[in-house]
Amino acid sequence: MRILVVGGAGYIGSHMVKLLNQRGFEVTVLDNLCNGHRDAVRGARFVLGDLYEREILDQLFEETRFDGVMHFASYIQVGESVREPAKYYRNNVFKTQNLLDAMIAHRVGHFIFSSTAAIFGEPIRIPIDETHPKQPINPYGRGKWMVEQMLEDYDTAYGLKSVCLRYFNAAGADPDGELGERHDPETHLIPLVLQAAAGRRPHITVFGQDYATPDGTCIRDYVHVNDLGEAHLLALQRLWDGGTSAAYNLGNGNGFSVREVIDTARAVTGREIPVEYGERRAGDPARLVADSRQAQTELGWTPHRADLATIIADAWRWELHG
Ligand code: UDP
């Protein structure tokens, strides 16, 4: 089976490529390296290119008959999306449409889309299942929700089958220590906490301690990047088995506060982690926790590295040796 992984040089994409390679798939990565790293692509053919360039897409689809396409290439910073919506709609929506149009033109019919908990906006109930209202509150979330809706229409009109996977907080790293999170600038909690543990940052700033949660800090559902990868494989299998298009929320169903993450990181690393308390970050809901029962029952998805200490230990290995 041949898979095209768009954004395969990025954090989640590179872990996906390694998993596909281990399972015997023939993988092509298309990445413009705006945020990804060439050396993170293991065991795949690499094509440098941008989804903006329809000629590259046509050439790729003419050369290789792909059995599925996975799309990880998107900008992910909520705050930046508010300041620069044009950048987000161009990259995350318009370029995705370019990819879908090329797939349709070349009759490639199976698509797995990286979506996000940000499509739900401020939650009205926790845990968040698939039926929860979609009211994104920033251009990042709105763009992802637009693509999800576009996919519904493309299925109806053109028969393109897709699965949207809404990640909650992707975290952790390859347990072998070969891959990990390398964002620049890094904005995610766990890598920042571990950089503070390693002495690469003076401290971690906790964004807000007056939320309506037991310890006053925000609660998130951290899910291991390899468990997300497994969900992608199961989603593709669903489509190959003739399943209908679908969307799933992916998390472990357990919420951890920022303080709990820091305490767990202290226990895992055995290091001091200096903490400062700062203002709330705009647009952060107090609590985001997934109800992933649908992914478990319909896809047969079981997270194997669900424990927060395991997630942090894998990320720590990468922080020390990556
Ligand atoms: N956070 C924090 N300090 C940081 C980075 C993040 O307190 O330096 C908090 C953030 O406010 C949120 C949680 O950690 O409540 C997870 O943030 P992250 O950016 O990792 O993921 P998000 O939830 O935004 O997808």
pLDDT at 282: 87
| d(C-alpha 291, C-alpha 307), whole Å | 16
- Render pLDDT for 106-138 as a digit per residue (tens, 0 to 9): 999 999 999 999 999 999 999 999 999 999 999
Ligand 1, atom 3: closest residue by C-alpha: 206
CA atoms within 13 A on the CB side of 155: 18
| d(C-alpha 105, C-alpha 52), whole Å | 16
Establish whether residue 192 lines the binding site of ligand 1, counting it when its CB lies within 6 angstroms of any ligand atom: yes
Q: Is the pLDDT of residue 229 over 90?
A: yes
158 within 8 A of 233, measured Cβ to Cβ: no
Q: What is the mean pLDDT of residues 286-314?
A: 98
pLDDT at 186: 93
CATH topology of domain 189-220+253-321: UDP-galactose 4-epimerase; domain 1 (3.90.25)
Ligand 1, atom 21: closest residue by C-alpha: 188
Strands 68-71 and 45-48: unpaired
pLDDT at 228: 98
Answer yes or no: same fold for 2-171+223-250 and 189-220+253-321. no
Q: Is the pLDDT of residue 283 over 90?
A: no
- Identify the band that residue 322 occupies on the pLDDT scale cut at 50, 70 and 90: confident
Q: Is the pLDDT of residue 97 over 80?
A: yes
Catalytic residue among 88, 140, 211, 222: 140
pLDDT at 321: 86
pLDDT at 157: 98
Active site residue 140: yes
Pocket test for ligand 1, best of 137, 273, 281 (most atoms within 8 A of CB): 281
Cβ within 8 Å of residue 279, ≥6 positions away: 207, 208
Of the candidates 126, 116, 110, 45, the one whose C-alpha atom is nearest the C-alpha of residue 75 is 116
Give the chain's radius of gyration (CA, Å).
Answer: 19
Q: Is the pLDDT of residue 146 over 80?
A: yes
Percentage of the chain lying above the pLDDT 90 cut: 98
**Mapping DSSP to helix (H, G, I), strand (E, B) and coil, where does residue 301 land?**
coil
Yes or no: domain 2-171+223-250 corresponds to CATH 3.40.50.720: yes
Structure tokens at 179: 């891959």
Ligand 1, atom 19: closest residue by C-alpha: 188
Q: What is the mean pLDDT of residues 206-229?
A: 98
**Domain residue extents for the chain:** 2-171+223-250, 189-220+253-321
C-alpha dist (Å) from residue 19 to 44, 53, 218, 321: 11, 28, 32, 21
